[in-house]
A and B are shown apart, each in its own frame.
Chain A
Amino acid sequence: MDIFGIPIQALLGQLMLGIVNGSFYAVLSLGLAIIFGVLKIVNFAHGAFFMLGAFTAFLLAQYMGAGYWLTLAVAPLAVALFGMLFEFLFLRRLYGLDPIYGLLLTFSLVLVLEGGFRVAFGSSGQPFATPELLRGTLNLGFMVLPLYRGFVIVSALLLCLATWFIIERTPLGASLRAATERSELTQAFGINVPRLVTLTYGVGVGLAAFAGVLAAPIFHVNPSMGSSLVIIIFAVVVIGGLGSIMGAIVTGLGLGVVEGLTRVFYSEFSSTIVFLVMVLVLLLRPAGLFGREEG
């Protein structure tokens, strides 16, 4: 059966891949959206933290013999700690300044991290084995889906929903949202806002690192693996609405699907489509699909 001359297998296959990519977009843009929402920092280093997550997992596996599941738990935590240290030592000094300073600082961190890893590990990438348990494939009829990619979709979505739940439905999330809207007033209620801010940065960074570990068996672990993604992630966040949690998740998945569909009809355009959507959204709804216009 064909749709517009495209075999339905090919269409469904690309759609499925779109959802896999969308899962990465969702986790990454979620972290970025949280950080922007609370810190008002454009975290250019998000892609580098994604890479750092993958590399930490690789190093843990390579030198300490850690299994995949252990690295999936430990690597994001370790990278989150590193992120919190970075926030505490450097980023903190830039709050209240023009956002360009935060952008420059985080961008320089990207240069340092990527350059350092390139010197240490080269540019070709390091192989990272798929966990034994998820090595098979799943025949969906229209395509052969590697089990691991299925796992990526499920775990990414669960993580996104859990993060959304914590922020929107728990007391901790309530304090966080309060700190976002009226930071001084929240502080007056006895909530340690600076600590909350550091924690938020850690969570955002940890999400990126988690996505990095998820990505490690799919893409080779290499120093520039984050930089190709980060631009798309920024577009996703802009389209979803800066700082909007659900917006980031839904838009991430949605754009993955749009990209997948574009690949079927006009492959060369697939790397551009996200930005075309961004232009359209900015023209028609400047605050993003899920954003609120600020008064």
Chain B
Amino acid sequence: MPATNSLKTLVVSSTVLGLGGLSHAMASEGYTDDVVRIGVLTDMSGIYTDLSGEAALEAVRMAVEDFGGEVNGVPIEVIHGDHRNRADTGASRAREWYDSEGVDMINDLSNSGVALAVAAVADEQKRHAIVNSSSNIGLTNDYCSPYVTHYTYDAHSLAHGTGKSIVEDGGDTWFFLTVDFAFGIGLEEQVSEVVREAGGQVVGAARHPLDTTDFSSYALQAQASGAEIIGIASTGADAINAINALAEFGVTPEQRPAALLLWYDDIVSLGLETAQGLMLTNAFYWDANDETREFSQRFYERTGRMPNMAHAGNYSSTMHYLNAIEAAGSDDPDAVSETMRELEINDFFASGGYIRPNGRMVHDQYLWEVKAPAESEYDYDFLRLVTTIPGEEAFQPLEESTCHLLDND
């Protein structure tokens, strides 16, 4: 709950602040203070808790531990906070962290509204923010910054993964059920573009508030639209409820649902019986190869759950940030930003990944299909790889970006 959580965070962060103050005496050369501090700003109590939340924090902690707990002899510290899915809360927490708590980098940032607000603060304060759990492509366009990295996925990669494959499969007319904020609207726009480019038609959309439980009326609107494909531009509990309602009112399978951002966790919630056959574009799946299995096993032992792509992205991006500090020999934001964009990312999460000048981390995306219950052979055996989408195709071409750091004008 908001009140209790903010109290908890206050206590935790003030303790951290106090401890930080003790060791302020000796600052290493090249480091703004004697510690590299990472803040995990996430949804600890609301609708996106299961997608990021506590497990995102754990992923960042794992990365720091695996890195050895210090970089060039400077200790690394992780603090966390709850943005409660409110852009203003997120922005003021970020400002407080950068300003007075010496936070060098903020990670996770679920909820596009929050991510956009924090990106603006990061740019102004010249400190780093890495977005792993939001999709709005404004982050690498109008709101881009040398200090902001958009790491795991974005609306463009989702649209060009799931959206495109369904259009190519003959889904010509679309109706959207869209969650009414930056994330849903951005995603709807991206997919609509893909649909129109392919000669398809968007016949309408219904917007619903975040955290809607009853989708029955939207299901009827979708039905009345007569569209072949019902594009679900929401995620987490919203998407789960929408898919269930469409099935309940007999909208599907006559009209096909296309979940545009489905998480691994959503499939756990839906169950294979309901979810089978759904397509999803995810940057990571625990069971993809030996490396992903190794990481996922360790993650599972700590959290009791398999990591989703944001958790994996939180780990990988934290590693990359720390690698950049080590290589640069400093935590100076400009030096780190430059090094982050120079170093290639090769780990269980990405191979040959790199960060463009506008902050977009380019790496392969994967289109998955949910298995039928009979095909699932062991626990968490949920997905089958349909195709790999090369990073260059998945993400927005650099020349289309409106980022002011590029010479695209």
Contacts and interface: CB of A to CB of B under 8 A. Distances in A.
Same assembly: yes
Interface of A: 7, 9-10, 13-14, 17, 20-21, 111, 114-115, 118, 122-127, 137, 143-144, 146, 149, 218-220, 222, 224-225, 228, 260, 263, 267-268, 270-271
B66 interface: no
A123 B82 CA distance: 14
B236 A124 contact: yes
A269 B4 CA distance: 32
B53 to A, nearest CB: 8
A224 B49 CA distance: 13
Given A17-B220, A144-B249, A218 B214 contact: yes
B46 interface: yes
Contact of B4 (A111, A222, A268): A111
Given A127-B271, A146-B249, A224 B211 contact: yes
B248 interface: yes
Q: Pick the 9 closest A-B CB pairs, nearest first.
A: A144-B250, A219-B213, A123-B49, A124-B50, A111-B1, A115-B1, A13-B220, A263-B217, A10-B224
Interface of B: 1, 3-4, 45-50, 206-207, 209, 211, 213-214, 216-217, 220-221, 224, 236-237, 240-241, 244, 248-250, 265-266, 269-271
B220 A14 contact: yes
Nearest to A6: B224
Contact of A17 (B46, B209, B217, B270): B217
A14 B266 CA distance: 28
Nearest to A263: B217
Contact of B240 (A7, A13, A14, A125): A125
A115 B1 CA distance: 6
Given A111-B3, A124-B236, A17 B216 contact: yes
Chain A CB within 10 Å — which of B207, B220, B244 has the most?
Answer: B220
A251 to B, nearest CB: 19
A50 to B, nearest CB: 12
A123 B209 contact: no
Contact of B209 (A125, A127, A225, A271): A271
Nearest to A113: B1
Given A14-B217, A219-B214, A123 B240 contact: no
B269 A10 contact: no
A123 B237 CA distance: 8
Contacts of B237: 123-125, 220, 222
- Residue among A7, A123, A222 facing the most chain B CB atoms (10 A cut-off): A123
Nearest to A139: B250
Residue with the greatest number of chain B CB neighbours at <10 A, chosen from A111, A124, A224, A263: A124
B240 A124 contact: yes
B248 A220 contact: no
8 contacts: A21-B214, A124-B50, A124-B236, A124-B237, A124-B266, A127-B271, A144-B250, A260-B217
Contacts of A218: 214, 216, 248
Contact of A267 (B216, B221, B244, B271): B221
Given A14-B217, A146-B249, A268-B207, A220 B244 contact: yes
B240 A137 contact: no
B50 A225 contact: no
A285 B32 CA distance: 65
Nearest to B47: A123
B196 to A, nearest CB: 24
Contacts of B244: 220
Given A10-B221, A13-B224, A124-B265, 19 more contacts: A9-B224, A10-B224, A14-B220, A17-B216, A111-B1, A118-B1, A123-B47, A124-B269, A125-B241, A126-B269, A137-B250, A146-B248, A218-B214, A220-B241, A220-B244, A220-B269, A228-B211, A263-B217, A270-B217
